[in-house]
Copies of this chain bind each other. A is one copy, B any other.
């Protein structure tokens, strides 16, 4: 019966998502229990369980053992922005990525880097400053500190072929990261390195990377405000149902 090739647990999920998105089921409403779904749709309890469990994992519903399943409260839903690898982002736009190294040396930690990496001020760190170019237009100034113990051979890499962040995640996958994004005016040196106009602001991304519970790298990424933007598309997961998605063109100002 029913549609061919669409698994029953998925049909069940879409049925419930549809009832939520049309407003038939409202936040905090009770969702049919596993046994009620068994009776009303004829699936086995394990199949109903899988449908409801996945809806729970995806944030559509909240389940409480012994009580029931309820439509989640969406008002706190926070959307997300992607922070991609700069080289991937550039090649995604069909342009060429290259990098100019400005500085590559072992330097003592300044106050900010020391705090971020949980080391003492003046502790030795590996420092790399380079400008990422998109088809020969500077698009990002990366100023990065790395804990020497984590990747002693960091500065010896050929950063024409691999970005610093890609190299670090190849040293240890499954890193945690913390990002902060803000708008700020660049200093003289940054403005010149990025070929920026007077009075043009920077989009600054600060990233601290953790591996095995320890901070291992700290980076400040400066982007010209007129040539760079972060974008992100959020869609509720698992909903093949309705929702034609908006085309997600990687817009970029030409300048």
Contacts and interface: CB of A to CB of B under 8 A. Distances in A.
Nearest to A170: B75
A246 B183 contact: no
B78 A85 contact: yes
B236 A174 contact: yes
Contacts of A84: 78
Given A176-B236, A179-B230, A183-B225, 12 more contacts: A17-B174, A21-B212, A76-B85, A78-B82, A177-B233, A178-B232, A178-B246, A182-B229, A183-B201, A185-B199, A185-B225, A212-B242
Interface string A73-114: 011111111111100100000000000000000000000000
Interface stretch (A31-39, A136-144, A151-159, A202-210): A202-210
Contact of A185 (B180, B201, B230): B201
* Copies of this chain, tallied across the complex: 2
A151 B212 CA distance: 48
A235 interface: yes
A81 B20 contact: no
B179 A232 contact: yes
Interface residues of A, number: 66
Which 5 pairs across A and B sit closest by C-beta, in order of nearness?
Answer: A201-B201, A183-B225, A183-B183, A81-B81, A182-B229
Given A180-B231, A183-B183, A185-B199, A246 B210 contact: yes
Contacts of A176: 233-236, 243, 245-246
Contacts of A236: 174, 176
Interface centre among A81, A180, A183, A200 (most CB of B within 10 A): A183
